[in-house]
């Protein structure tokens, strides 16, 4: 029997019971729609989180003092015996090949007083490379100037929110503010950057790292962020950073984390999350598959006569098997298509109604869902189709 | 003349197991049927006549004995080869027509061609030819439930003969029809036989059986009488 003919035959069988076939394929459709919707949300969250982390650029390597060993990295704030990372370390990393910038980082929380107002905020001690490394923009004035270590002047650049809180709409440039016990002159205001994982990136002040060490009475940096040229291998740069610092420190007493590694780990976690919610949708798909098995079993019983006839007319067992298999595959595939429309439609509706809610349907998921529904149809059809193919034709013809 | 014998059954036995007891549906049946014969198989229920028909139609296998169809031993064929023989050499006609309810008359007639994998253009030609021959052209697009009993059996006969089989097996072909339409169907079958198709009819109906040239009477799984009449001009 030709494939086109068996497909047509199966389609005729499906359309001869419109309501029943529709309800059966609806079961599959709901399952596929659930899988698509849930994985779309999972994928949307995935992208959202990755976007949050990559907004500072992906070609950044972090260097932290202390070597991560089996015991893990010591939490910041607890005294360690690790050798300190110094301003000179940060300076020397700038010379490495492929490295386009590096910024020492020290941060803390302090009261900032300016324009007669007081606000407790996060203070970052960085250097001139900061804006490039973290792809931040200055709105007015300028960022911290490039200065030799030890000679950094007491300048501060305000985050946009801090500026609003302290100065309102007044021009803060040139104003003096007090941070902790030290005095600084405002030379710039950052462009708003929004929130990152709940932390307000605009409620900040940037001062030279040298001054921050002084302010917080620290001898070593908390972290050094190194940015390398787009296209350079992160592993190569990480290796260069490692060997340079090992040379300076005598042995490896620091930890190098590339953002690529971090993102990879994060991406893996998020993929598992997507798969987990997809599996939840898979349960309803399973129920739909059981529906197909049920309806195909009923169909075989109802059409016992017809099966006997087909055998009498010279149909081979494999032909009978193929007919019933294609029937369940078509049923499932139609359900899959309907579910695809339903799922994508719902996902679009959600992103239309709640634009901030991250939903994303990759095409690979849609194609995968269709293939999956066909496979489900195949699996669900095997049992009923086999029983059809193995009917005794004489009994089958006699059945009423 | 071995050339002429279409069906040759040698010492055929068929036993069914019903619960604990063994039922001998056929015992030691020997039968030779030549091409173009018109045979009525008669006998009471359970005499084995349907089993004989199923066996000749390759829907059933003998437990012992040999069955040669057109000189070829078909007892040893596997199920796919038997399906091919059924498709090409055997036509079935049933008491309850066995039309596929969701298919039109034309599609029902087309079914053996479709199953044989014939291309659609060739099928369409043959089906329209058959519809014309059996006077069903204006009923082609009707479904079985829109056809009368006689029309249904005509569709079934057209379906059975569309691949020009060597033998036509009819199991009570008039059993579900009234006298007049039954008569029409029998005349149709007889005209096919007159064109050279071998016709084997299983029936309870004495009058129908009497019209066949050769009458085989069965009882308890054995052939008890096998009479060949000289052609009777009154029967036409």
Per-residue model confidence as pLDDT tens digits over A73-118 = 556 666 666 678 888 888 899 889 889 888 999 999 999 999 899 9
Q: Report percent pLDDT > 90 for chain B.
A: 86
Please state, rounded to an integer, the average pLDDT across all residues of chain A. 88
Look at residue B236 in the predicted model and tell me its pLDDT.
45
Look at residue A69 in the predicted model and tell me its pLDDT.
60
- CB contacts, 8 Å: B159 with chain A: 313
The pTM of this model reads 0.74
Look at residue A198 in the predicted model and tell me its pLDDT.
72
Nearest-CA residue of chain B relative to A306?
B100
Mean pLDDT on A321-341: 94
Do residue A314 and residue B88 have CB atoms under 8 angstroms apart? yes
Per-residue model confidence as pLDDT tens digits over A333-374 = 999 999 999 999 998 898 889 888 888 888 887 888 889 899
Do residue A12 and residue B87 have CB atoms under 8 angstroms apart? no
Indicate if the alpha-carbon torsion angle A182, A183, A188, A193 is positive or negative. positive
The C-alpha of B236 sits at a distance from chain A's nearest C-alpha, in angstroms, of: 30
Nearest-CA residue of chain B relative to A400?
B96
Do residue B115 and residue A315 have CB atoms under 8 angstroms apart? yes
Domain ranges of chain B: 5-235
The C-alpha of A375 sits at a distance from chain B's nearest C-alpha, in angstroms, of: 25
Q: How far apart are CA A124 and CA A156, in angstroms?
A: 10
Q: DSSP string spanning B150-186?
A: HHHHHHHHHHHHTT--SEEEEESTTTTS-HHHHHHHH
- Chain A, residues 318-347, CB within 8 A of chain B, namely 318-319
Q: Does A395 touch chain B (CB under 8 A)?
A: no
Q: Which residues, 6+ apart, have CB-to-CB distance to A197 below 8 Å? A: A52
Q: Is the pLDDT of residue A72 over 60?
A: no
Q: Does A11 touch chain B (CB under 8 A)?
A: no
Look at residue B58 in the predicted model and tell me its pLDDT.
94
| Candidates B60, B103, B112; nearest CB to A314 | B112
Instruction: Profile chain B (236 residues) by mean pLDDT over runs of 10 residues.
Output: 77 90 91 94 91 94 93 91 94 94 95 94 95 94 95 95 94 92 94 94 91 94 89 52
Indicate if the alpha-carbon torsion angle A137, A143, A146, A148 is positive or negative. negative
Given pLDDT bands bounded at 50, 70 and 90, which one contains residue A2? Answer: confident
Look at residue A6 in the predicted model and tell me its pLDDT.
92
Q: Is the pLDDT of residue A68 over 70?
A: no
Look at residue A75 in the predicted model and tell me its pLDDT.
60
Q: How far apart are CA A89 and CA A99, in angstroms?
A: 14
Mean pLDDT on A149-157: 84
Q: Is the pLDDT of residue A317 over 90?
A: yes
**DSSP code at position A221:** B
Mean pLDDT on A177-199: 87
Look at residue B232 in the predicted model and tell me its pLDDT.
53
B9-32 in b/e burial notation, b at 16+ Cβ within 10 A?
A: bbebebeeeeeeeeebbbbebebe
Do residue A309 and residue B79 have CB atoms under 8 angstroms apart? no
Instruction: Identify the weakest region by mean pLDDT among A166-180, A187-201, B151-165, B167-181.
Output: A187-201
Do residue A311 and residue B94 have CB atoms under 8 angstroms apart? no
**Domain B5-235: homologous superfamily in CATH:** P-loop containing nucleotide triphosphate hydrolases (3.40.50.300)
The C-alpha of A387 sits at a distance from chain B's nearest C-alpha, in angstroms, of: 16
Look at residue A82 in the predicted model and tell me its pLDDT.
67
Nearest-CA residue of chain A relative to B104?
A12
Mutual angle of helices A259-302 and A18-54, in 10-degree steps: 180
Instruction: Identify the weakest region by mean pLDDT among A35-49, A65-79, B136-150.
Output: A65-79
Nearest to A397 by CA among A319, A313, A306, A336: A306
Look at residue B235 in the predicted model and tell me its pLDDT.
47
| ipTM tops 0.90 | yes
Helix (H) or strand (E) holding B142: none
Do residue B115 and residue A1 have CB atoms under 8 angstroms apart? yes
Q: DSSP string spanning A370-393?
A: HHHHHHHHHHHHHHHHHHHHTS-H
Per-residue model confidence as pLDDT tens digits over B16-51 = 988 888 889 999 999 999 999 999 999 998 899 999
Q: How far apart are CA B90 and CA B167, in angstroms?
A: 5
Q: How far apart are CA B56 and CA B50, in angstroms?
A: 10
Helix (H) or strand (E) holding A395: helix A393-398
Look at residue B1 in the predicted model and tell me its pLDDT.
43
């Amino acid at each position: 029997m030709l494939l086109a003919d068996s497909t047509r035959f199966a389609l005729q069988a499906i359309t001869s019971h419109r309501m029943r076939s529709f309800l059966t394929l609806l079961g599959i459709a709901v399952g596929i729609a659930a899988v698509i919707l849930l994985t779309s949300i999972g994928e949307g969250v995935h992208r959202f989180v990755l976007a949050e982390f990559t907004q500072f650029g992906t070609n950044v390597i972090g260097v932290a003092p202390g070597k991560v060993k089996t015991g893990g990295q010591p939490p910041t704030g607890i005294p360690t015996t690790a050798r300190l990372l110094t301003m000179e370390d940060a300076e020397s990393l700038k010379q490495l090949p492929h490295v386009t910038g590096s910024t020492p980082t020290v941060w803390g929380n302090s009261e900032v007083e300016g324009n007669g107002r007081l606000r407790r905020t996060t203070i970052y001690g960085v250097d001139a490379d900061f804006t490039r490394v973290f792809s931040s923009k200055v709105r007015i004035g300028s960022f911290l100037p490039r200065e030799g270590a030890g000679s950094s002047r007491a300048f501060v650049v305000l985050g946009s929110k801090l500026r609003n809180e302290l100065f309102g709409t007044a021009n803060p440039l040139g104003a003096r503010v007090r941070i902790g016990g030290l005095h600084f002159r405002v030379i710039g205001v950052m462009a708003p950057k929004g929130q990152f994982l709940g932390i307000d990136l605009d409620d900040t002040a940037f001062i030279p790292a040298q001054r921050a060490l002084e302010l917080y009475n620290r001898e070593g940096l908390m972290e050094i962020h190194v940015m390398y040229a787009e296209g350079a291998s992160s592993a190569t740069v990480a290796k260069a950073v490692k060997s340079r610092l090992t040379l300076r420190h005598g042995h490896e007493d620091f930890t190098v984390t590339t953002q690529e590694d971090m993102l990879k780990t994060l991406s893996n976690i998020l993929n598992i999350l997507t798969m987990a919610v997809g599996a939840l949708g898979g349960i309803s798909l399973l129920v739909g598959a059981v529906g197909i098995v049920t309806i195909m079993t009923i169909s075989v019983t109802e059409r016992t006569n017809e099966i006997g006839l087909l055998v009498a007319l010279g149909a081979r067992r494999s032909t009978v098997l193929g007919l019933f298999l294609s029937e369940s595959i078509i049923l499932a595939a139609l359900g899959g298509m309907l579910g695809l429309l339903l799922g994508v439609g719902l996902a679009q509706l959600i992103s239309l109604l709640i634009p901030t809610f991250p939903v994303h349907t990759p095409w690979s998921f849609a194609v995968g869902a269709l293939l999956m529904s066909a496979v489900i149809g195949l699996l669900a059809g095997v049992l009923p189709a086999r029983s059809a193919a193995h009917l005794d034709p004489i009994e089958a013809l006699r059945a009423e | 003349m071995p050339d002429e014998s279409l069906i040759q059954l040698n010492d055929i036995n068929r036993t069914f197991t019903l619960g604990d007891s063994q039922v001998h549906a056929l015992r030691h049946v020997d039968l030779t049927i030549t091409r173009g014969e018109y045979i009525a198989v008669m006998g009471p229920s359970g005499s084995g006549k349907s089993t004989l028909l199923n066996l000749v139609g390759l829907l059933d296998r003998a437990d012992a004995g040999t069955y040669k169809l057109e000189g070829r031993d078909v007892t040893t064929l596997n199920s796919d080869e038997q399906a091919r023989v059924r498709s090409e050499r055997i036509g079935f006609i049933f008491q309850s027509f066995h039309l596929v309810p969701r298919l039109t008359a034309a599609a029902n007639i087309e079914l053996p061609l479709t199953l044989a994998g014939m291309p659609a253009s060739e099928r369409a030609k043959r089906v329209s030819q058959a519809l014309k021959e059996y006077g069903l052209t204006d009923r082609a697009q009707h479904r079985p439930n829109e056809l009368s009993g006689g029309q249904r059996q005509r569709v079934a006969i057209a379906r059975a003969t569309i691949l020009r089989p060597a033998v036509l097996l009819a199991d009570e072909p008039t059993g579900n029809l009234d006298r007049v339409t039954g008569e029409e169907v029998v005349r149709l079958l007889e005209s096919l036989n007159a064109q050279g198709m071998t016709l084997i009819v299983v029936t309870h109906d004495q009058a129908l059986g009497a019209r066949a040239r050769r009458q085989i009477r069965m009882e308890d799984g054995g052939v008890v009488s096998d009479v060949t009449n000289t052609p009777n001009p009154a029967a036409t």
